[in-house]
A and B are shown apart, each in its own frame.
Chain A
């Protein structure tokens, strides 16, 4: 079971701002989902290797060379924030 307080903590870790009402609603919904996935506990997985990919590829490498997808101007045009000296201007990182 996840309570509203735990949900607010998880949301904070994931950089999601939640209202009090949202915290309570999600606590119920996420608890239902986590209760459902608890069925995995009944499966014996002794000596079973985890699957993180399915086609058996190993150590896929490529040449360490630069190839351009887009120009600097095209990329900077994507932001909705002000651009100064070819940089995106954000709010202060450190506040007092």
Chain B
């Protein structure tokens, strides 16, 4: 049963010598191997490396030196993190055999903390999608109901934690790619303030939006992981020199007097009624704990998806221009005569449909004659969305909303309808527009459809920039008052 442990309980057991990291790692790997055929969360399981790291961690633990809460604890990484010597594919055909020659900064930091890497996790190609259906390794299934998606783009990272196939995982969130799968799979997922965690060595999707954060079983665990990975990095010039507080101090703090804003634009029309009820019930829980609930308005909310689908593809098309299948990446299979043909074929064979769509939108909105009408316009409306948040945080400490307008949807339901898929992120994208942090915490379940299978619903708690400590406080208070985070799917 060791695979069911949280980071905090595993660290305690390791420290007390109740079990070794090798024993814990073997239990987690066994679980991962047993469940992966059902869920397809892992695209690579790094068994040998994990056992090697576990042995090293055991030495460190028995010496009692440089021990952190992550020392010897097995975790997984979304396949967008570059890991030296371990295939890192972004779940794209163009990188299917790519083995990076260096580690991302966060990977180095986790290695220094004593991480045991269980493997690399499934995702939508280059983090583009909300269902992990756009992966060249096939869809990740929802641990609560395998007819449904696990969400995306970090679907593998979310499903792995929900199914106890890793004690924790890391993902990336550009428009909701951590929070939405966390909500759909019933685990904790943290989207940090833009720049709180270094992006160096994490394949770029949209550089002014991308963030990195953990998936965990509890809020306290999310604080542990953030502690290990947060901070300025000379290799990422967008990480501001803001001090990193002791996040563990936020856990278990009372929320009496905390001012919680409820933005009216995030409720009502377009929100599935059971999802709305779960969040309304959660707000009552906060009231019982003495928090003050206040309705607020963020009037530009409805433009966020449009802003995102202009600005993000623009950045993405520029970032993905580097993939030419020459210095690294797959070479084309067909016959080519010239260098330009080589580009056409390498990129045509190497990218899936969603990537092609976004590259073309980005190319279009940046082209002469359209730049001002689309790209610059979107950047201006982004300013108005940021101001919405600035104004709201003058009145309240945090905002509480649903994460996803609806619970996990059926596999195939939105795959060929890009716009419907984009609207699934309507409640998470505005947060990325403003670069503020937000968390998804398990807040309840739907009553279950015709098949009687209940689906988890996540609550989103949003704070001002660099207020991760306050978000942890608000989230852990709710967690302590409820049991939702303790429920696990039967597999």
Contact = CB atoms under 8 A, between A and B. Distances in A.
Contacts of B113: none
Given A39-B306, A90-B326, A91-B341, A16 B359 contact: yes
A68 to B, nearest CB: 9
Contacts of B252: none
Given A14-B317, A17-B348, A50 B360 contact: no
Given A14-B360, A33-B309, A33-B419, A54 B101 contact: no
Contact of B376 (A11, A50, A79, A93): A50
A15 B208 CA distance: 24
A13 B366 CA distance: 11
Given A37-B306, A50-B379, A62 B351 contact: no
A63 B361 CA distance: 37
A93 B248 CA distance: 57
Contacts of A66: none
B477 interface: no
Nearest to A54: B435
Contacts of A78: 98-99, 101, 327-328
A11 B381 contact: no
A26 B386 CA distance: 32
A26 B356 contact: yes
Interface string B313-325: 0000100010011
B240 A55 contact: yes
Interface stretch (B18-26, B166-174, B332-340): B332-340
A15 B101 contact: no
B339 A91 contact: yes
Interface in A3-52: 7, 10-11, 13-18, 22, 26, 29-30, 32-34, 36-41, 43, 45, 48-52
B342 interface: yes
Chain A, interface SS category: loop
Residue of B336, B345, B379, B380 with highest tally of chain A CB at under 10 A: B380
A55 B377 CA distance: 20
Contacts of A75: 101, 327
A33 B236 CA distance: 32
B383 interface: yes
A55 B433 CA distance: 11
B144 interface: no
A17 B465 CA distance: 42
Given A16-B351, A29-B418, A54 B336 contact: no
A81 B324 CA distance: 12
Interface residues of A, number: 54
Nearest to A14: B363
Given A91-B339, A92-B338, A54 B434 contact: yes
Contacts of B434: 54
B194 interface: yes
Nearest to A45: B380
Interface string B230-247: 000010011010000000
Given A36-B309, A55-B465, A90 B317 contact: no
A1 interface: no
A90 B345 contact: no
A93 B341 CA distance: 10
A3 B419 CA distance: 18
Given A17-B344, A40-B381, A45-B380, A81 B326 contact: yes
7 contacts: A33-B419, A36-B422, A40-B374, A50-B382, A57-B195, A57-B240, A91-B341
Interface of B: 97-99, 101-102, 193-195, 208, 234, 237-238, 240, 300, 302-303, 305-307, 309-310, 317, 321, 324-331, 336-345, 347-348, 351, 356-357, 359-364, 367, 374, 376-384, 386, 418-419, 422, 433-435, 465
